[in-house]
Structure 1
């Protein structure tokens, strides 16, 4: 396979999409566009879906990009332009543990996530908690990745069942070390 220039990294919340996208961007010298920056305004105000779609379309018209997610109102856009989908298809316990660990770290450090937004105990304990989203979305995300992989009309989909498998693949990629 030639080095891809348009990559969609996909997986459930907490799987490590952003970390993977950052590593791919460095390795392949591609621009990475964090999806959360396109979806959230300060104060956790969601960008209207039509505007999200416009922003993602503008990115995907470019010849080179990495996106770290794809959501309901515009998932088709990167999928139709991607050279490769990297699917983080880890077991539920693995991605949930990563998400919980990340959430606790962000709460203790007050780390900025996107556009000045930070996690809070109120957000973590709410019905809209990223932890609840993980539980609700896990099966759908996993099924979606497998459907994409089986579709010969779509881009190639590499499914990684463990972080170690992803690490081995990344280590073998051509590009900057």
Structure 2
């Protein structure tokens, strides 16, 4: 596993970005897409249909973009079958393994802003009113509760992913400052 100080051995063309909700996966994917001339496929936009319901064509859409040569996306929905589709094709995984206060603050700021402004997202969806998210601990009802539930997902599973997909170069970035330093070097 590489760190922020290790140079990439080559310029990858298919990239996955892992991290807990709120770590900045989508923002980094957009930046990498622009820097490396890749196509960003926002996996949340492919997954969520109207009313936050999963789109029936989700996995077909994932198969379609994963079969192409140049892409970057967020490494999510692994339990729904994306691992078997994307990971064998990916060349690089960037793991945003940031401190809890960083990701928690980012998610709260983003969620509150979207909720107050009623920001339209994928297929016209908007965040629930903030009071509803704070009133429940059910991860299915609150992105804030989901973040708590999945906080350790990648730390627990990354060694398994590394063994399962030995072709995949993995870069572990432990703080946004490391990410910025790594981006400047690559």
2:68 to 62, 70, 73: 62
**Structure 1 residues 92 and 135, CA gap change in structure 2 (3 angstroms):** same
Consecutive unaligned residues in structure 1, runs of 5 or more: none
State TM-score, norm by structure 1. 0.89
Aligned partners of 1:133, 1:67: CA distance in 2, in Å?
20
Instruction: Provide the residue aligned with 1:124 in structure 2.
Output: 133
RMSD between superposed Cα atoms in Å:
1.7
Deviation at 1:98, TM superposition (A): 0.8
Partner of 2:149: 136
1:91–1:147 CA distance, 2 compared to 1 (3 A): farther
Cα displacement (A) at 1:61: 0.3
Q: Distance in 2 between matches of 1:90 and 1:147?
A: 20
> Which aligned pairs between 1:90-169 and structure 2 lie closer than 5 A?
90-121=98-129, 124-125=133-134, 126=136, 127=138, 128-149=141-162, 153-169=166-182
In structure 2, the gaps of 5 or more residues are 1-8
User: Residue 94 of structure 2 aligns to a residue in which SS?
Assistant: strand
- Whether the aligned pair in 1 keeps the contact of 2:88 and 2:165 (CA below 8 Å) is no
Following the alignment from structure 1 to structure 2, what is the Cα–Cα distance between the partners of residues 123 and 148?
35
User: Which of 31, 36, 49 is matched with 1:41 structurally?
Assistant: 49
- Aligned partners of 1:152, 1:119: CA distance in 2, in Å? 35
Aligned counterparts of 2:110 and 2:159: Cα–Cα separation in 1: 26
CA distance in 1, matches of 2:165, 2:71: 22
What is the CA deviation profile of residues 8-46 of structure 1, one whole-angstrom value per residue up to 9, with x for unaligned ones?
011111110000001101111110000011101122122
Residue by residue over 1:135-158, the C-alpha shift from the partner in whole angstroms, topping out at 9 and shown as x without a partner, is: 001112222234334667240110
SS in structure 2 of the partner of residue 153 of structure 1: coil
In the alignment, is the contact (CA less than 8 A) between 2:87 and 2:165 conserved in 1? no
SS at match of 1:143: helix
1:118 Cα deviation after fit: 1.0
- Count of residue pairs brought into register by the alignment: 171
